[in-house]
Structure 1
Amino acid sequence: MREVFQQELAEVREGLVTIAELVAASIANATRAFNESDVTLAESVIADDDRIDELALTLDELAINILARQQPVARDLRIVVSALRISASLERMGDMSSHIAQLARYRFPEKVVPKGLRGTFKEMGRLDSEIALKLTELLRTEDMALAEQIRSDDDLIDDLHLSVFDKVLGETWKGAAVDTVDATLASRYHERFADHAVSIAKKVQYLATGDWAVPPVSSTVSTTATV
């Protein structure tokens, strides 16, 4: 029974890596379709999202069965519980890729955003693709250096996300209403993709160490601040 249990845990971890690999391919293709106005590639990304959803559901069912039958403890329990949460975030990352591809499909044969923002979105897409590859390797190896790199890349995407809002809200913005909506939606999808990766990185840290290691609140933050 113990050998079966360990095999099932291995299947859970391998399943996460498989889903992450599909997500990495999805975001790479989605951002390419977005930047190049490739409707065929966009349609492929949208169709492939069903595969990510199916694998995430299958993994969740396996994890729930392990909890019910094996009653794992300590690190084994962390693996199963973390897997359930990680698969949900991976599924949402696939959704973000699909949303980016949908924008490319809706605006075909035109490009989604005006020329002045294309460089920004090309860089956001590059960073998202890099994050997805690092995330896949993180899930495979539990190398915490990769988790830190993912957080650093996310900071860069956050800066680019803010720059998009600065651009579309600026006095020099000449885009039509549809351009403003498309740009803000696309930027949000790119930013949320990276946010989910950071969330997974934190869960892998917990899986590896049993500690969330939440940084202390800065002493500069007022205790009377309101949300």
Structure 2
Amino acid sequence: MRTRFHENLVQLADRLQAMCLRDRAAVATATNALLRADVELAEQAIDICRELDTMRDDCEHAAMTLLALQAPVASELRQVVTAIQLVGDLVRMGTLAEHIAGIARRRHPAHAVPEPVQPVVARMGAAAIAMATSAAAVLGSGDPHDAAQLDGQDDTMDRLHHDLLTAVLAEDWTGGTTAAVDLTLLGRYYERFADHAVQVGRRTIFMATGESPDNWPSPGPAGE
């Protein structure tokens, strides 16, 4: 019985990782839609995000079945409850990617991102993809040391967000009010996407160790 329970836990972890990989696909496609002013790509990103609703239901059902039928002990209970919390973060990442795609779709056929700030937005998209990739790897491995690295990756996103706001608020900004509003929202969406990826890492630390992520040692400058 316990062997079957642990097999089910592994399957649940696989489902969470699959959700995170769909988040990565969604934010990558949404970013391309923004930069190319491509409404078909925007629709593809939105479709990917809607897949996450079904994946969420599957994960939550699997987790609740484990709780109801398998009587998990303390460490197992921690894993199942944390998995339910992780589902919330992963769904939110998809929602934020959908918001990004929504701006691209709403402004089509015009570019939502003026040319001068396209490089910053491209780097924000790349940072989001990298963080989703790392989060998915952490969900697969359950390694708390790798999970702690996500905090450092978030610093990159924070710097890019600052750069974007600085450009929008500059006295020589010529992109107009509509673009400024869109970019302010986009910056927030990318930042929050990254924050939820960090939460995946923090929850993984707790799930693997039972320790608060606040008490887990931060990685050194070289990731040591």
The two structures have a TM-score, normalised by structure 2, of: 0.91
Q: Once structures 1 and 2 are overlaid, which stretch shifts more, 63-72 or 114-123? A: 63-72
Structure 1 distance, partners of 2:74, 2:202, is: 18
Query: How does 1:1-150 map onto structure 2 within 5 Å?
Result: 1-150=1-150
Per-residue deviation, 1:149: 3.0
Identity between Structure 1 and Structure 2 (%): 35
2:34/2:113 contact within 8 Å kept: no
Corresponding position of 1:174: 174
Residues 111-159 of structure 1: per-residue CA shift (max 9 Å, x gap) = 1121221111010001100111111111001233432332112111111
- Superposed CA offset, 1:151-180 (max 9, x none): 112111111112222222221212221111
SS of corresponding position for 1:109: coil
Quick one: distance in 1 between partners of 2:11 and 2:67?
14
Counterpart code for 1:117 = V
The total of aligned residue pairs comes to 216
Counterpart Cα distance in 1 of 2:192 and 2:32:
18
User: Structure 1 runs of 4+ off > 3 angstroms?
Assistant: none
Give me the whole-angstrom Cα distance separating, in 1, the residues matched to 2:112 and 2:153: 24
1:47-77 residue CA offsets vs partner (Å, 9 max, x unmatched): 1211111111211121112112222122211
Backbone CA RMSD of aligned residues:
1.5
Partner of 2:207: 207
Find the aligned partners of 2:5 and 2:209 in 1 and give their Cα distance. 21
Distance 2:8 2:179 in 1: 48
Q: 2:192, 2:131 → 1: CA distance?
A: 12
Q: Distance in 2 between matches of 1:76 and 1:143?
A: 16
- Counterparts of 1:151-166 in structure 2, within 5 Å, are 151-166=151-166
Alignment of 1:191-202 (within 5 A): 191-202=191-202
Distance 1:134 1:6 in 2: 24
**Gap regions ≥5 residues in structure 2:** 217-224
**Greater CA drift, 82-91 or 26-35:** 26-35
Instruction: Identify if the C-alpha distance between structure 1 residues 174 and 127 changes in structure 2 by more than 3 Å, giving closer, same or farther.
Output: same
124-133 or 22-31, larger mean C-alpha shift: 22-31
Indicate the larger mover: 168-177 or 197-206: 168-177
2:221 corresponds in structure 1 to none
CA contact 2:143–2:208 (8 Å) conserved in 1: no
In the alignment, what sits opposite 1:225?
none
Q: 1:147 to 1:10 in 2, by over 3 A?
A: closer
TM normalised by structure 1 equals 0.90
